[in-house]
Homo-oligomer: A and B are copies of this chain.
Amino acid sequence: MKNLLSIEEVSNEEIYAILKRAAAFEAGEPTQLEQDYLVANLFFEPSTRTKTSFETAERKVGATVIPFEAGFSSTLKGETLYDTVKTLEMIGMDAVVIRHKDDAYYKELLEGINVSVINAGDGAGQHPSQCLLDLFTIFKEFGKFEGLNVTIVGDVSHSRVAKSNASALQRLGANVHFVCPKEWQGDYSEARHDWDELLHTSDVVMLLRVQHERDAAYDGFTTEGYHAQFGLTKEREQQMKDGAIIMHPAPVNRGVEIDSDLVECDRSRIFEQVRNGVFVRMAIVETILKGRN
């Protein structure tokens, strides 16, 4: 793998290899990187969680992280993303991790750029490292994907997570269901607008964040109204089947997508996902940097 741009480009074999390596890191295995690599994190959209996770993973596999403040960068002076990334390549970066508000921003980087690009989220497009950490969380829990029932709840039409996860999970053999308000179903014509009957059969309930900042259409809902119709209330949680788990990419809007008291309940893997994210990103960064030799 030279780059990690979208989960569609990662084969099932490569996915399992990353999950295996993440498990090895969790078990305490050391990095296999022997030389010094330089990495920079270009977050043109704020994201503490993902950025901090990458920053930590990069250091844990032994890379040197060069700080980059996107908010003060030359893109403010009208520089193209290509020129910014090419500049970082010439400065000596081996890989750059990029979050950007434009869908598929990385297309302008495919030609002429030699530094490896890891996509940490593009517009309403992909978020492959989040997808891989979600897969890792599910695989650790169930030891397989085949036949699992995964229900994704929320604004599927605007969600990077929904798009990445649904395509990967289906490819790996899981059954994926969608529950959302009718206004937010987008291309997901199979989405249901009432999730209660799925509660009893789902192995995984994957809640999506209500992203107030992204979608003016959210204005149609009060947070209480959303919580009542689509949120994971205590009543709903009690109807979930034995062994079923709750996931959420975070940050959580407590009392909207999920009752605040459930965030750390027995079924919840919400903070466990954060922990898993570091191991998965260690595996991603190590795999890509090793591939540069």
Contacts and interface: CB of A to CB of B under 8 A. Distances in A.
Interface residues of A, number: 52
A75 to B, nearest CB: 8
Nearest to A273: B90
Counted per complex, copies of this chain come to 3
A53 B38 CA distance: 12
Given A40-B52, A48-B68, A49-B74, A91 B252 contact: no
B66 A52 contact: yes
Contact of A91 (B53, B67, B79): B53
A200 B48 CA distance: 52
A251 B90 contact: no
A230 interface: no
Given A59-B64, A72-B46, A252-B83, A274 B77 contact: no
Contact of A48 (B51, B84, B253): B84
A274 B80 contact: no
Nearest to A59: B64
Q: Which of A48, A72, A77, A79 has the most CB of B within 10 A?
A: A48
A125 B91 CA distance: 25
Interface string A259-286: 0000110000001101101100000000
Contact of A87 (B69, B73, B78, B271): B271
Interface of A: 38, 40, 43, 46-49, 51-53, 55-56, 59-60, 64, 66-69, 71-74, 76-80, 83-84, 86-88, 90-92, 112, 212-213, 250-254, 263-264, 271-272, 274-275, 277-278
21 contacts: A38-B56, A46-B72, A46-B76, A48-B72, A48-B73, A48-B74, A48-B84, A51-B69, A52-B87, A52-B88, A52-B91, A55-B66, A56-B91, A56-B92, A59-B66, A78-B253, A79-B250, A80-B254, A83-B250, A84-B251, A92-B275
